[in-house]
Amino acid sequence: MKRIYWNAFEMNCVGHINHGLWKIPGNKRAHYKNLEYWTDLAKTLEKGRFDALFLADVVGLYDVYKGGLDTSIKEAVQIPANDPFIPISAMAHVTSNLSFAVTFSTSYEHPYGFARRMSTLDHLTNGRIAWNIVTSHLESADKNFEVKQYLDHDEKYDLAEEFLEVCYKLWELSWDNDAVSLENNDCYASPSKVHKINHKGKYFNVPGPHICEPSPQRTPVIYQAGMSERGRYFAAKNAECIFLGGKDIDTIKWFIKDIKNKAFSLGRSQNEIKFFMGLCIITGLTDDAIREKIELYKAFWSVEGNLAHYCGGQNLDLSKYEKEDILNGSKVTDILDNLRKIDGKWFRVITGKPVEVVNQIQSIIEETDIDGFNLVQFHSPHTFEDFINYIVPELQNRELYQKDYSPGTYREKLFYGKHEYKFNNFYYNPPKDI
């Protein structure tokens, strides 16, 4: 089997995906404000040999359902939501191999400050950083950040391309590999090896140079998650890892094929992109234990919370429609029924005893040729603990999960692992020592 990659899916907030479940007694989601929540999580994940912690983020608010923010506030639907960059250095301090994929939108802040934050993270984690690029779509974020007024969806991707170009130039072009040489005690860095980037574009004009010296990876591993036509083109052009979301096998297959074709037409190799899908797992050692967990999640499930999330994401207020109305090709009543189910929203839910779960995972891998998964939580930290205790050993038996970490940076771990040695370099300016 090929190497499969496993990420823990998280967000610096109370209600991320499966709304209502923060109320389960003992669920630690409301501890997101405490540093120990994050350091304990990181230690658990590294002990369990997770490849990375994937930190989602949203800077806007889900304020569409019932015409406002009330439901999101009641149900803690990604509000409050703290900054995802801040806890990373603490998690890096208590681990040595776990990587961190952090979401940042290209639509709201300037690339010069962002590139510096990322370089700093890459330095301090010793190369264990990825950037999940999003362009964002929530109007409230546009308003609160006062971005160049309300770019449309595709224009946000044009801006994202240029944002990324500025970052590539700062990360890859500005400082030569041998600009800093501590053996040369005459100077810290050689002026002739530090370059301005002189970027002049439609959205940005950045002379440079980068204010940071080269970090272990220079450019963080690039993740991307948007699934529109324009988003897939962007991903095919730029991403090393793509998070597809996805419940439906045929849709996943179609996305992978489409993006691989796009990548190929852009001159990239078919196999240099890793594809990830979201996955929810409910497991235990007995059918009774599994049934109990399912009943627990159903009991605390917040349909209202899921509605607020769905309506915000779709920019569509379902409360204004009749049950029989047709929206995006579906009856409103069917959408509502779907949001009522704990396996209803965005990700595939697999339930069963370890061998049953792993059988299903294996068949997903075989059917879709997927490379990895973002594991979604119901219950923190129980979901990850269950996975580590029950599922990982069976996955390891089938060589679907690493038994130990490979050395090196996150990029090296992803592309130079035991099972794959090929690395197709597509950087703007390839680091010279790779």
Q: Which range in 22-30, 254-262, 309-317, 408-416 contacts a copy of itself by CB under 8 A?
A: 22-30
> If binding is defined by CB under 8 A, does position 183 make contact with a copy of itself?
no
> If binding is defined by CB under 8 A, does position 207 make contact with a copy of itself?
yes
> If binding is defined by CB under 8 A, does position 80 make contact with a copy of itself?
yes
> If binding is defined by CB under 8 A, does position 157 make contact with a copy of itself?
no
Structure tokens at 384: 């990850």
Looking at beta carbons only, is 85 or 378 nearer to a copy of itself? 85
> If binding is defined by CB under 8 A, does position 308 make contact with a copy of itself?
no
What whole-number distance in Å separates Cα of residue 408 and Cα of residue 225?
A: 25
Structure tokens at 154: 């595709």
120: how many CB neighbours lie within 10 A of its CB? 16
Q: HSE (CB half, 13 Å, CA atoms) of 194?
A: 16
In the list 189, 294, 303, 434, the residue contacting a copy of itself (rule: CB under 8 A) is 189
Looking at beta carbons only, is 88 or 414 nearer to a copy of itself? 88
> If binding is defined by CB under 8 A, does position 24 make contact with a copy of itself?
no
Q: In angstroms, what is the minimal distance from the CB of 218 to a copy of itself?
A: 13
- What is 272-319 written as a DSSP string? S-EEEEEEEEEE-SSHHHHHHHHHHHHHH--HHHHHHHHHHHHT--GG
What whole-number distance in Å separates Cα of residue 124 and Cα of residue 233?
A: 32
Looking at beta carbons only, is 88 or 361 nearer to a copy of itself? 88
Which SS3 state, helix, strand or coil, does residue 211 take? coil
> If binding is defined by CB under 8 A, does position 267 make contact with a copy of itself?
no
CA 337 to chain centre: 27
> If binding is defined by CB under 8 A, does position 34 make contact with a copy of itself?
yes
- Beta bridge partners, 56, equal 11
> If binding is defined by CB under 8 A, does position 83 make contact with a copy of itself?
yes
Q: In angstroms, what is the minimal distance from the CB of 303 to a copy of itself?
A: 14
Q: In angstroms, what is the minimal distance from the CB of 238 to a copy of itself?
A: 23
Structure tokens at 22: 């923060």
In the list 151, 154, 162, 209, the residue contacting a copy of itself (rule: CB under 8 A) is 209
In the list 47, 70, 295, 429, the residue contacting a copy of itself (rule: CB under 8 A) is 70
In the list 1, 86, 266, 326, the residue contacting a copy of itself (rule: CB under 8 A) is 86
Looking at beta carbons only, is 165 or 386 nearer to a copy of itself? 165
Residues numbered 119-138 forming contacts with a copy of itself, rule: CB under 8 A: 119-121, 123-126
Residues numbered 271-300 forming contacts with a copy of itself, rule: CB under 8 A: none
Report yes or no: 275 and 370 within 8 Å, Cβ to Cβ: yes
CA distances from 416 to 214, 223, 235, 301 (A): 21, 17, 21, 41
φ, ψ for residue 207, nearest 5 deg: -70, -30
Q: What is the DSSP letter of 15?
A: B
Looking at beta carbons only, is 36 or 229 nearer to a copy of itself? 36
In the list 23, 237, 253, 382, the residue contacting a copy of itself (rule: CB under 8 A) is 23
> If binding is defined by CB under 8 A, does position 69 make contact with a copy of itself?
yes
Residue type, 206: V
Looking at beta carbons only, is 60 or 246 nearer to a copy of itself? 60
What whole-number distance in Å separates Cα of residue 81 and Cα of residue 96?
A: 27
Nearest alpha carbon to residue 242 among 162, 133, 384, 367: 133
Spatial neighbors of 110 by CB under 8 A, at least 6 apart, are: 204
Looking at beta carbons only, is 5 or 104 nearer to a copy of itself? 104
> If binding is defined by CB under 8 A, does position 182 make contact with a copy of itself?
yes
What whole-number distance in Å separates Cα of residue 278 and Cα of residue 225?
A: 11
Q: Which range in 199-207, 260-268, 306-314, 408-416 contacts a copy of itself by CB under 8 A?
A: 199-207
